[in-house]
């Protein structure tokens, strides 16, 4: 059986568990559409790409 050669310190053990304390990302509300989205990210709404409340791009129909 495998046994540790030395005792693992509390700080070393706790370094492994740092990801457990992460907080969820903040959600922004678009002022124009009212849609929730991540900060500093563009988002699609009804075929249009919005960033900071303005239309950046419109989806083109491919026929």
pLDDT of residue 6: 93
Cα(57)–Cα(17) distance, integer angstroms: 42
Q: Which residues, 6+ apart, have CB-to-CB distance to 39 below 8 Å?
A: 25, 26, 28
As a residue count, the chain comes to 63
Residue 12's H or E segment, with its range, is helix 10-15
Predicted structure pTM score: 0.58
When the pLDDT of each residue in the chain is averaged and rounded to a whole number, the result is 88
Cα(34)–Cα(28) distance, integer angstroms: 9
DSSP structure class, residue 50: E
**pLDDT: which is higher, 58 or 63:** 58
Cα(17)–Cα(2) distance, integer angstroms: 22
């Amino acid at each position: 059986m495998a046994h540790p050669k030395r005792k693992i310190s509390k700080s070393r053990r706790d370094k492994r568990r740092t990801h457990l304390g992460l907080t969820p990302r903040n959600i922004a509300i678009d002022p124009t559409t009212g849609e929730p989205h991540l900060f500093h990210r563009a988002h699609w709404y009804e075929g249009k790409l919005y960033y900071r409340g303005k239309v950046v791009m419109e989806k083109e129909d491919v026929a």
